[in-house]
Amino acid sequence: MARTSDFHLQFQEFDDDTTVTFDDPIKSRKQRSAESGFLEDETDNVTLNGDDKTEFLSDQRKSAPFWTFEYYQMLFDVDSHQVKNRILGSILPWPGKNFVEVYLRRKPDLYGPFWICATLVFAIAISGNISSFLTHQGQPEYKYVPDFRKVTMAATAIYSYAWLVPLALWCFLTWRNRKTTSLVSYSFLQIVCVYGYSLSIYIPAVILWIIPSEGLRWCSIVVALCLSGSVLVMTFWPATRDDKPRITIAVMTSIVILHILLAVGCKVVIWRAVASIAWTVILLPLTTALFLFLSRFCLFHPIQWIVECVSLLTAPSTIFSLVVLCGVVLATGFFNLEFYTLVPSIPCSRVALLGTVLHPRQCVHSLVYCIMGMLMMWCASVIIGGRYSTIGSPCKLSESGELISCLNEYHLFLLLAGAFIGYSHSFLGVVQNMYYVSFQPIEQYNYLRFKGSLTMVVKCSVIQALYSARNFTVLYLFFGYLPKTWISSTLNLQIDSSLQPLDSVTGLLDFSLLYHLSISGTFLYLTWYITVLLFRIYVTEAYSFPVQSLFTEDAEQCLPKVLSEKNTLVMKFLALQDLALLSQHSPSRRQEVFSLSQPGGHPHNWNAISKECLSLLSELTQRLVAHQDAVASNGRIKSLSASSDTKSGSSGSSVILGAEDLPETPRPNMPLRTPGSVFLKSSMGGMHGPLTAPFTPDLDSPFSSPAIRRLAGQQDPHSPWFGSVQSPHVMRRGPKLWSASTESQTNGSPPPSPATLPSPPPANLKPSFLTQWLQNRREQVKSFLAKRVLIMYLFNKLPEASSQALFADSQAQIWALQGLSHLVAASYSEDQFGVVQTTLPTILSFLVVLLEAVDKHFKLPHASSKPVRTASCVGDSTYKTLRFALRAALKTAIYRITTTFGEHLNAVKISTEHRKRLQQFLEFKE
């Protein structure tokens, strides 16, 4: 045995350009100290620098037990120079440098990771509050209250990621190190230190969120994700590269996916969307395995088929394809979050639908889905293998004896099919309103909803894949030579003339090709449909808001405050849904609604809730009246004074009766065009006006129908017949159904003042010759285009489109009706202070006036006709029957109140007309 005195320290001089390469594994302490390539003191190459001395002395020092204070004191024994270098090394990763070998060596610390995580937590909370303040600044009803719950959520997510993920990774690497002794191992503290310092780049990225630019926020988070992710990949690649390929790919994939989820969790506020994406990623291996078994199906050799498929499940190519598919699923989830809507977009003409499809935003969406379709189809072709695996394949020998690569048309066929399927999915998303998210009338658990819809999703995926395969096959038959020629010339791949080309009938009559095309298309559609389904399930899940809060910071999350939310539509819908549920099933929460404030004794909760519900009903009533006036006047614009006089009639006065505290929604001064929604997401550019109306006839359009122009009777102000009664031989008058003006005169209201009628212009004002010539030419162009069948086909209104667009957001009014009626009915026995009785006349007046407007609307053409059942199975078409659901909910609400109060309603101070209408409900004659 050698004596201790035989060991001598020897130092060897090395060049300054010695570096630690990316491929070098962790070596012994002697080699590492010799090969560490940043000696700071270049004047003396024989002596160790300060960091090496500290490292050498720390190795010789006896470590203290972990239960003592000295043990943890060593983990925080680090100077600012070392922390600065480690932060810079994590922010600016350099290829070939291992973070552990270059910056940590054998002295990891917890000082940097702890304070980096703490700083990131507070940066997220502060940036989120400032961003919320800047978004709502200028709104009269907004009162800034800091949201301290963001600190709790951010701290839970970040510290869990910084400690639990390193713990799981350390356990796995330790287990693999025992299986394979040649692997490089890291200690638990080293892994924690790497993960902690890798989060430092997120601090400046989070600070940039204060700037109100969504594109800048996403760019900052993507840059931070790439930089910090590269640090993790370059650090842990040497520890896993010598293991089995599938284990290596699985470990690196898990590291990258968890890091992406953290970055997404920092950016996305709607955690439900994150949960839906996470469940889609979890289900992806199951669908991929099912696709693998079906793509390699062999009827005559079942045992060999099963064994081969099981072995391919753990192949590196399959695991790598699974990683790419996870990225596609994440991108699909982000697009669902960005494009979803709670109020469907209903084009009222074919040209409006064409404009939606050709919108730049929709074009970008289609382009991204084409790319994602090609990526998914490339993964599918790699999983299938065989002749579909690569784009190039050796086909023949050259004169020098070398193999020449030829274009693999089967692989190209599947890639182009993926792009076509991606565009088809994007196109159908617009036509079938696939991004419309509707709430279920009956609440179910998420698992039961997914289980009940899974069969329908699989069926739709198969049917749509067959349709897409048929359409793409026909398209490739006629135009397949164009991409084939361009790709072969671009990639310098020859076309094998010995094989049958696929852009021919005989080449496409390949059962194996068509089978794999259909299976691959089904896999693509199934993945996208499952993502959409899970997103709908999680977004529409019921949430219980507190009616009142004892703490100031939680006041913004209370039900009365959320009901008045104008920037986040989904929060408003969830609050209305919660109001409808609590009014039916929660007596204790109803007592909170009926309670009085202390001190003061004011019914603030009831006033806020009833005010918002009645405001929604008032908006719908005014939209209906505006639409009915437009139809009654056959598309002509009514003057503002006439509209005001009409509003002063009995209907208008009955609405305002007893509602002095309610904000009055202004009437529109001009016909309103096709609405997107009554409420819009803040990401779409803020709120539009509170009133929206369906598409009204555009009489100034050069493509308007001659019949519509004759019915409208729009006259030229310079015409000699302007302001006079015309003969039916001069202008055919359309049948005037009814209007608010005639209704007000019938009810005894004064007719509009003659001063409101337009007066003829002075006779001395005559148009110039140029003006008359231009007007004549415009009329000639209009008449010429109006005779063209294709023009009329594109610009004619679609049946029922106006009625569907008018009731597109009626789900909010349905919940408001249910909540108000149940609360009013419950107040008969539960309202101890009589807070509901003060507003009961106003509520009854609003309900009766809305019922009159709805009844009149159903007398219009196409309003009462049932919608045609469409073949769409994933696109939600429930919005087509919302007007029938609203009418049923309105009558049910009135019946609920009348049957509860009975003859006591005779003591309520309402107008005589409304009392007569309520009497019909009391006698069950409606």
pLDDT, tens only, 10-60? 445 444 444 444 344 444 333 444 443 333 333 333 333 444 444 433 444
623 vs 229, which has greater pLDDT? 623
Residue 230 buriedness (CB in 10 A; 0-12 / 13-18 / 19+): middle
What is the SS3 assignment for 406? strand
- Comparing CA positions, the residue from 562, 678, 683, 548 lying closest to residue 602 is 548
Q: Is residue 843 part of a domain?
A: yes
**pLDDT category of residue 764 using cuts at 50, 70 and 90:** low
**Crossing angle for the helix pair 214-240 and 149-179, to the nearest 10 degrees:** 20
Mean pLDDT, range 355-384, rounded to an integer: 90
Residue type, 600: G
User: Tens of pLDDT along 464-505?
Assistant: 999 999 999 999 999 989 999 998 888 888 888 888 888 889
Q: Is residue 530 part of a domain?
A: no
Whole-angstrom Cα distance, residue 760 to residue 723? 6
Residue type, 49: N
Mean pLDDT, range 855-884, rounded to an integer: 77
**pLDDT category of residue 298 using cuts at 50, 70 and 90:** confident
**Range from 228-242, 359-373, 662-676, 908-922 carrying the lowest mean pLDDT:** 662-676
Structure tokens, 865: 């006709």
Radius of gyration of the chain, Cα coordinates, nearest whole angstrom: 36
Report whether pLDDT(583) > 50.
yes
120-to-113, 151, 198, 214, 266 alpha-carbon distances in Å: 10, 10, 12, 20, 10
- Comparing CA positions, the residue from 275, 712, 795 lying closest to residue 537 is 275
132 vs 27, which has greater pLDDT? 132
Whole-angstrom Cα distance, residue 875 to residue 434? 4
Reported as type and span, the H/E element at residue 405 is strand 403-407
- Comparing CA positions, the residue from 415, 384, 380, 364 lying closest to residue 527 is 380
Whole-angstrom Cα distance, residue 914 to residue 166? 70
Structure tokens, 102: 């270059």
Per the listing, tokens 């009554």 go with 678
Q: Residue 721's pLDDT is what?
A: 39
Report whether pLDDT(785) > 70.
yes
Residue type, 629: D
User: Tens of pLDDT along 446-460?
Assistant: 899 999 999 999 999
Asked if residue 277 lies in contact with residue 536, where contact means CB atoms within 8 angstroms, the answer is: no
Mean pLDDT, range 392-399, rounded to an integer: 72
Report whether pLDDT(755) > 90.
no
Q: Residue 891's pLDDT is what?
A: 94
Q: Residue 56's pLDDT is what?
A: 37
Q: Residue 389's pLDDT is what?
A: 84
**pLDDT category of residue 553 using cuts at 50, 70 and 90:** low
Structure tokens, 783: 């008449």
> In the beta sheet, which residues pair with residue 407?
392
Q: Residue 335's pLDDT is what?
A: 84
Whole-angstrom Cα distance, residue 910 to residue 658? 9
Whole-angstrom Cα distance, residue 624 to residue 740? 11
> Which domain covers residue 861, as residue numbers?
552-630+797-866+873-923
Alpha carbon dihedral 333, 337, 343, 344, in 10-degree steps, equals -40
776 vs 655, which has greater pLDDT? 776
What angle (nearest 5°) sits at the alpha carbon of residue 873, between those of residues 868 and 879? 55
Structure tokens, 34: 């010799």
Whole-angstrom Cα distance, residue 596 to residue 605? 8
Report whether pLDDT(125) > 60.
yes
Q: Is residue 788 part of a domain?
A: no
Report whether pLDDT(659) > 70.
no
Q: Is residue 128 part of a domain?
A: yes
Whole-angstrom Cα distance, residue 107 to residue 78? 9
User: pTM for the whole thing?
Assistant: 0.67
Q: How many CB atoms within 10 Å of residue 137? A: 10
Please count the CA atoms within 13 angstroms of the CA of 138 that sit on its side-chain side: 3
What proportions of the chain, in percent to the nearest 5, are helix, strand and coil? 65, 0, 35
Task: Tell me how far apart the terminal alpha carbons of the chain are, to the nearest angstrom.
Answer: 108
Q: Is residue 371 part of a domain?
A: no
Report whether pLDDT(750) > 80.
no
Asked if residue 150 lies in contact with residue 129, where contact means CB atoms within 8 angstroms, the answer is: yes
Q: Is residue 621 part of a domain?
A: yes
Asked if residue 391 lies in contact with residue 409, where contact means CB atoms within 8 angstroms, the answer is: no
Whole-angstrom Cα distance, residue 887 to residue 857? 11
Per the listing, tokens 């994150």 go with 274
Asked if residue 589 lies in contact with residue 547, where contact means CB atoms within 8 angstroms, the answer is: yes
Q: Residue 149's pLDDT is what?
A: 62
Q: Residue 667's pLDDT is what?
A: 38
Residue type, 716: D
Whole-angstrom Cα distance, residue 281 to residue 324? 11
Mean pLDDT, range 795-806, rounded to an integer: 82
**Range from 359-373, 456-470, 797-811 carrying the lowest mean pLDDT:** 797-811
**pLDDT category of residue 552 using cuts at 50, 70 and 90:** low
Structure tokens, 835: 């807070």
**pLDDT category of residue 268 using cuts at 50, 70 and 90:** very low
802-to-172, 811, 857, 868 alpha-carbon distances in Å: 61, 17, 11, 15
What single string gives the DSSP state of each residue in 170-211? HHHHHHHHHH-TTS----HHHHHHHHHHHGGGHHHHHHGGGS
Whole-angstrom Cα distance, residue 407 to residue 399? 19
Reported as type and span, the H/E element at residue 395 is strand 392-397
**pLDDT category of residue 101 using cuts at 50, 70 and 90:** confident
User: Tens of pLDDT along 166-207?
Assistant: 888 888 888 777 776 666 678 888 888 888 888 888 888 888
Map 750-795 to HEC letters.
Answer: CCCCHHHCCCCCCCCCCCCHHHHHHHHHHHHHHHHHHCCHHHHHHH
Q: Residue 765's pLDDT is what?
A: 59
Q: Residue 526's pLDDT is what?
A: 94
**pLDDT category of residue 662 using cuts at 50, 70 and 90:** very low
Q: Is residue 617 part of a domain?
A: yes
Q: Residue 184's pLDDT is what?
A: 67
Q: What is the DSSP letter of 860?
A: S
Residue 670 buriedness (CB in 10 A; 0-12 / 13-18 / 19+): exposed
Percent share of the chain, pLDDT over 90: 22
Non-local CB neighbours of 767 within 8 Å, separated by 6+ positions = 718, 775
Q: Residue 582's pLDDT is what?
A: 92
What angle (nearest 5°) sits at the alpha carbon of residue 457, between those of residues 452 and 460? 140
**pLDDT category of residue 299 using cuts at 50, 70 and 90:** confident
Mean pLDDT, range 815-843, rounded to an integer: 92
What angle (nearest 5°) sits at the alpha carbon of residue 850, between those of residues 849 and 856? 95
What is the SS3 assignment for 756? helix
Domain boundary among 211, 242, 266: 266
What angle (nearest 5°) sits at the alpha carbon of residue 622, between those of residues 351 and 802? 25
What is the number of domains present in the chain? 2
Per the listing, tokens 């094998």 go with 496
Largest distance between two CA atoms of the chain = 128
Mean pLDDT, range 203-228, rounded to an integer: 80
Reported as type and span, the H/E element at residue 841 is helix 840-857
Q: Residue 852's pLDDT is what?
A: 94
559-to-470, 546, 549 alpha-carbon distances in Å: 51, 6, 10
**Range from 228-237, 590-599, 618-627, 709-718 carrying the lowest mean pLDDT:** 709-718
7 vs 547, which has greater pLDDT? 547
Asked if residue 591 lies in contact with residue 830, where contact means CB atoms within 8 angstroms, the answer is: yes
Structure tokens, 444: 């179910």
Asked if residue 117 lies in contact with residue 162, where contact means CB atoms within 8 angstroms, the answer is: yes
Q: Residue 722's pLDDT is what?
A: 40
Q: Taking all residues of the chain, what is their mean pLDDT, rounded to a whole number?
A: 75
Q: Which residues of 652-669 are buried (b: 16+ CB within 10 A; e: fewer)?
A: bbbbbbbbeebeeeebbe
Residue 731 buriedness (CB in 10 A; 0-12 / 13-18 / 19+): middle
Residue 537 buriedness (CB in 10 A; 0-12 / 13-18 / 19+): buried
Mean pLDDT, range 838-867, rounded to an integer: 88
Q: Phi and psi (nearest 5°) for 392?
A: -125, 145
Q: Is residue 508 part of a domain?
A: no
Whole-angstrom Cα distance, residue 875 to residue 871? 9
Domain boundary among 266, 298, 316: 266
Asked if residue 20 lies in contact with residue 89, where contact means CB atoms within 8 angstroms, the answer is: no
Asked if residue 93 lies in contact with residue 85, where contact means CB atoms within 8 angstroms, the answer is: no
Report whether pLDDT(810) > 80.
yes
The strand pair at 392-397 and 403-407 is best described as antiparallel
Percent share of the chain, pLDDT over 70: 72
**pLDDT category of residue 425 using cuts at 50, 70 and 90:** very high
Asked if residue 112 lies in contact with residue 196, where contact means CB atoms within 8 angstroms, the answer is: yes
Q: How far is CA 228 from the centre of its chain?
A: 26
Report whether pLDDT(622) > 90.
yes
Non-local CB neighbours of 103 within 8 Å, separated by 6+ positions = 85, 86, 89
Domain boundary among 266, 290, 309: 266
